[in-house]
Each structure stands twice: as structure tokens, then as C-alpha cells.
A and B are shown apart, each in its own frame.
Chain A
Amino acid sequence: MSQLDDLKSAIKDRLGELECVIGWEQGYDALHATPLFIRTEADLDRLVIGPLAVHNLATYLTAYKGKKIGVVVKGCDSRSVIELVNENLVNRDDIVVFGLCCDGVVSQPKIRAALPADPGFVESVTIGTDELKITVAGQTVTLKKSDVLADKCRVCQHPNAIIADVLIGTKQNPAGANSLACQEEFEAKSDAEKLAFWQETMSRCIRCYACRNACPMCVCRDYCIATSRDPLWLSQDNSPAENMMFQMVHVSHLAGRCTECGECERACPVDIPLMLLRRYMNKQVKDVFEHQAGTALDQTPPLFTFKVEEERIHERGW
């Protein structure tokens, strides 16, 4: 049986005891998947997995707190489930995790850059093991999956769901690379260059908060300080400075909690490379606290604890 058939059969076995199971289905065109909320066996016919199933469905879990539900996760998404459990934001016993062994998902901006015409003109997509055959505006092109792979997949250390009640598929190997050229290039820039970069980039931000709401760990949502009126922490002015301030608040609140699923960057309608901030912050957290969020159950995020003397912060040595 295929991985999809195995998954369908596993979900079918558990569906009766669950409010719903969250997976993916074909979206508004052949190049896009969209989240699917499976409530009946008939819904299962629409389930899809594969390189277009990009959404981290763990984002929806907190909304179902107190109910028993199922969720289909890739390796990266499973880290978000773990982090939510570790922070007591969801109850592990209420969630049935259908874990996938994942060989990577695509980046839509990379596909867009590789196609001869706007992906909005897509006519058909055939997904092979290592390639995608895409017909767009009457022209058919074959893209190597490795060329359009999401950045997070290029350095993925957890392709197989870390926690799973049912693990589906053949285990995949972690990526050989552990750093991205785009990150290294950015970090090598001077402070002045970085400032100029963010001023330009943040002038595109429209403060729609797609980055915030797509984030599985941004659980304040309706009560975010970015939109509070009393006190008015942030101006509603969408100047580059205010936009950057919001992004700084966002990234700081995720210190030690971000699972690097990349949903913030994927959700951004104006392609702001938010992962540059996340990866940098995560690297600091790893260096200082030897912590990577969502990699094991029973971890405590470092900023959730207080120690008079942090082992790796030598305050008196400064």
C-alpha cells in the first residue's frame, strides 16, 4: 500500500473516537493544497499528502483544547506538537498524532521563480518522486524537486515525526547540510547593510499578522500586544520602523519556543524573509542554552525557568 493509503486506513481506524482529523486536500488549483478537516469517511477520499502539503496543521490544535482530535504531521510539524504539549498548551492525551516520514515540501516562491509564466496560470501538475511536471499558460516544464525544495527541508534534521501515535511511511534520512547560504550571506552583512535591508523589506509589510496567526506557537492571537489598545504598546502606523518593532516583539516572544517550521515566512503575502530572524535567534538559544524547541517531550523552554546563575552565561566573567 502507498503511504497515502496507509494513512487513510490509520485515520479510518481512529476517526470514530475523534472530533475530526486535520490533514490536507487539493486547494484552489493543481499547485496548491489546503487544510482538510476530516469528520466522515467520505471526507477521507479528499485527503492528499506530498510536497504541496506545506501547512503546519499543529497551528490549529489550541483551538480544539478539551476535545479529542487527530492531526497529520510532517517531521517539522511534530516539533510544534511537542512544544505545545511541553508548554501545557494542549493535552497530549487529547491528540492522536498521525506522523509522516517526509521527504520535503516545496517553496511556492521558488516554483514561481522557476516557471516560465505566473503560477496563477497553472493548468496541471504531476508529482513524481524527484520532480514536478507543471503545465502553465500552455507550456510544460519539469522542475527538479531538489531545486524548489523549501529552505527548511534543505537543512531538516527531523524528517520523520518525532512523536506519533501512528508513524506512516519509510523513514527518511536527515539532510546532510546544516546551514543555509542565504542565512550565512545575510549574517555576513555589516550592521548598516542589515539596517538598509530591513528598512526596504519592512516597507512592504502591511501588518496583516498572517505571520503571527500562521505560527503554531503564537498562541496569544486575539490578545496580542500588537493590537491592544489599552495600553497602546505599538502604533498602528505601518511605517518600516513600527513594522520592524512588531517583528522584533514577535521573534523575541518565540525565543526558545520557535520550532523553525517556517510558517511565518510562508504565510507572508509579500514574501518577507522572516526566517532570517528566526534562525538567528534559534542559533543564539542553542548556543547559550543547548536547547532546540520541540525536539523532545518534557523539555522546558529556557526562558520558562529561572536560575540565579545560568551555566553558559558568565555574567561575572564580563
Chain B
Amino acid sequence: MERYITKQNLTRLAEDLAKTCRVLAPVSSCGSVTFRRFQPGMTMDLHSRMAAVSPKAATFPQTETLLVVKRDATEKKPELVETLPQGKSVVIGCRPCGARGKLIFNPVYETDKIKDPYFISRRDNTVFISLACDRPETTCFCHSVGSGPADTAGSDILLTLVGDGYVARSVTPAGDEIMKLALFEDAGDKGKEADAKNAEARELMGEAHDYTSAPAKLLARFDDMDFWQAQSAKCISCGACTYMCPTCYCFNITDDDLGLNSRRIRTWDNCMSHTFTLEGSGHNPRSTKAHRLKNRVGHKFSYYPDLHKGVIACCGCGRCIKQCPAGVDIRQIVNAAQEYSE
């Protein structure tokens, strides 16, 4: 389905949807743009810059309560309360790369044997209304990892800025449902303009880098710690890259004791952290930042593709590059492995 929505009506759409569901939209505060729970009266910041943090929290929140344990001082047996996420969510104004991120989670959180009810419930109850990019940032490389500035994979509706509004294209039944609302109007021949803008944005990205050899080339460097020490020299081993990343899906589980009650929470983990692989014995197979960065790059460009039909576990949004306090560039590391000669 193709229709058109003015900027003003997009805000009204967000306000209307916020009455019945959780709406997440990019909002600017002190110069930082992040996805916030949208409430009527707030201003969405769709165009000033890509949100610093990806919209992955919509389907994989930083803190998910897995269960609550309630104890009564007189009762011996504690009561376990399930906390499966309820209700619907709509993400408005993420970029195609951000919406696509969760597709990487699917083969991990939903297999024949394992089904993660928290992720699946959130994924199936969240609609993504993405905004096509009109020009690439210096850190963008979505076109090199099988995507592009107007990719619809992972989105329900894709918006393209035309005039004082957006050409809206729905690619799922959930998207169709929203676009039946009266806030959308006939697109007329604006679709052609949207096509031209999408093509121009792709053109501006230039030639894609070929990562075909990356899985094998990275594996070939697996035991070469000199290589990884050199690549990780400037890494400060913080978690900014993984927490910003739309495709990083690792988590921790901890119990918070709150007096008689307690709760089990699942929180984002990151493979740059010492505790990520710290074993109960005290042994840590990834004792240095070189081991950890090797895992992060290897997982995205080698191990995951090898397990999942060649799909690279990176959507090319560039957040890990531009938000890295030390300017570590994942493209440069993969290139170094690809170009490495003995």
C-alpha cells in the first residue's frame, strides 16, 4: 500500500497511537537524540540526526523483568509472578538500519528448540515506522552489509520525505492497518519522487565494500594475537559500541533482592566487558581487550554468518564507530583481516 502523510499528521498519528500503545520516537534533549516514550505535547526529532542509541530497546529492552518473587513473612512458599510483556508498541522515525537490527535476533531467540517468549512477544507486538535516509553519514555502510538507505526489511512502513510530508509504503499487514487511518491521504504521483530520492540516497553511498571473504579471513586470524593486540590498542573496553548496536543481543541475568520480594532481571550485556566470559572458577578465557574485540568483530562478520546462511550480524548504521570514545572503526578492522597477507 502507498499513501502520503503530512508532517503535521505524522505528529497527530503519534499522539493518537500514544493513547492505546507505547510509542517510541526520537526526541532531542540537551543535544542528544534518543528514543523516548512519546507523549502528546512532545516534539519528535526525525531529521536533525540519527538517534544516538538504536531502537532495539523496543523489542529487547535494556532491563527486562523476567519474573517477580513475592514472599510473605508468614508464608513459607514464595509466590512466583510471571511478567511477560503486555500491550502493543509503535516505533516512529527509526532509520531502516535500526528496524532491520532485530532480524538478526530471530534465528537466535526463536529456534525449533528455544523460543524466547519475552523477545517474541515484543517483536510480534511492535510496529516499526521507519524513515528512509536521504544521504549517508561518513560512518554509514548499510549498503555493504546487504541493506540500503530505503531498505524495508524489519520495517512495517517506510516513510520517504517528499515535500512537507512523507510518502508512506507499507510492507506488512500491521503497516496496512495503520495506513488505513484517515490521517493518511492519497499519494498521487508523489511515489515517483520518493523513488527518485531513494535512488539518489543509494547513489550517494557509492560502491559497496565486498565482505564475502570476511568470515574465512577473520577465522584465519583467530590465533594471531599480535593482529588483535594491534587492532585493539586504542579500544578502552567500554560497552558503548555494543549498547548502541541494533544487532547486539547478549544479556545478563541477575536477581535484585528487595527485602521480602525480589525480581529476576535480564539486562544488556556486552562482550567488551571483563565479566562477560568470567567463569565461576575465576578463569577468564577472554582476559584482555584484544580477546574481547576479536570476539565482537568475529561474531558479527564471521561466526554468525557461518551459522546463519551468510547473513552479516551488522546493519551498517555506524553507531559503534561514531560513538566510540576512541574512534575504533570496525570497517577498518575487518578490512585489515581481509587484506592481511602472511
Write the residues of chain A forming the contact surface with B, with a CB cutoff of 8 angstroms: 27-29, 32-37, 55, 59-60, 109, 112-113, 118, 120-122, 137, 200-201, 204, 206-210, 212-214, 221-223, 227, 229, 232, 235-239, 263, 266-267, 269-273
- By the criterion CB–CB under 8 Å, are B234 and A34 in contact? yes
In the complex, whether B29 has a CB less than 8 A from a CB of chain A is yes
Measured CB to CB, the residues of B under 8 A from A are 29-32, 34, 48-50, 52-53, 62-63, 135, 137-140, 230, 233-234, 236-240, 242-244, 252, 254, 256, 265, 267-268, 270, 273-275, 318, 321-323, 325-329, 332
A263 and B325 in contact, given A209-B238, A270-B52 (Cβ under 8 angstroms): yes
Extra pairs beyond A36-B234, A112-B31, A221-B274 (13, CB < 8 Å):
A35-B233, A55-B325, A120-B138, A204-B29, A206-B243, A207-B239, A210-B238, A213-B238, A222-B274, A229-B254, A236-B63, A267-B236, A270-B52
Whether A271 and B30, one on each chain, are in contact in the complex, defined by CB atoms closer than 8 angstroms, is yes
Q: Once the chains are docked, how many angstroms separate the CA of A27 from the CA of B237? A: 18
Point out the residues of chain B lying under 8 angstroms from A271, CB to CB.
30-32, 52
- Chain B residues with CB under 8 A of A212: 238
Cα(A207)–Cα(B267), bound, Å = 11
Whether the pair B34, A204 counts as a contact (CB closer than 8 A) is yes
A267 touches B138 (CB 8 A): no
Q: Are B236 and A213 closer than 8 Å at their CB atoms? A: yes
Residues of A within 8 A of B240 (CB): 208, 210, 267, 269
Contact for A239 among B63, B252, B332, CB less than 8 A:
B63
B325 touches A210 (CB 8 A): yes
**A230 nearest CB across to chain B (Å):** 10
- CB atoms of B138 and A29 under 8 A apart: yes
Q: Knowing A27-B327, A214-B238, say if A236 contacts B31 (CB, 8 Å).
A: no
Within the assembled complex, what's the spacing in Å between the Cα atoms of A61 and B214? 33
Offer 17 A-B interface pairs, CB within 8 angstroms, sorted by A.
Answer: A34-B328, A34-B329, A35-B233, A55-B325, A120-B139, A120-B322, A121-B135, A201-B30, A206-B62, A208-B238, A210-B239, A213-B325, A236-B265, A237-B267, A267-B236, A269-B240, A271-B30
Taking a contact as CB atoms under 8 Å apart, the answer to whether B138 and A122 are in contact is yes
In the complex the two chains form, is A118's CB within 8 Å of B31's CB? no
Which residue on chain B has the smallest CB distance to residue A34? Answer: B327
Pair B325/A267 contact, Cβ less than 8 Å:
yes
Write the nearest CB–CB distance from A51 to chain B, whole angstroms.
Answer: 15
**A118 to B45 CA separation, bound complex (whole angstroms):** 13
Q: Kindly list chain B residues whose C-beta atoms are within 8 Å of the C-beta of A214.
A: 236, 238, 325-326
| Cβ 8 A contact of B30, one of A28, A121, A273 | A273
Contact between B267 and A206, CB atoms less than 8 A apart: no
B135 touches A28 (CB 8 A): no
Of all chain A residues, the one with the shortest Cβ separation from B257 is: A232
User: Could you tell me if B32 and A270 are in contact, using CB atoms closer than 8 angstroms?
Assistant: yes
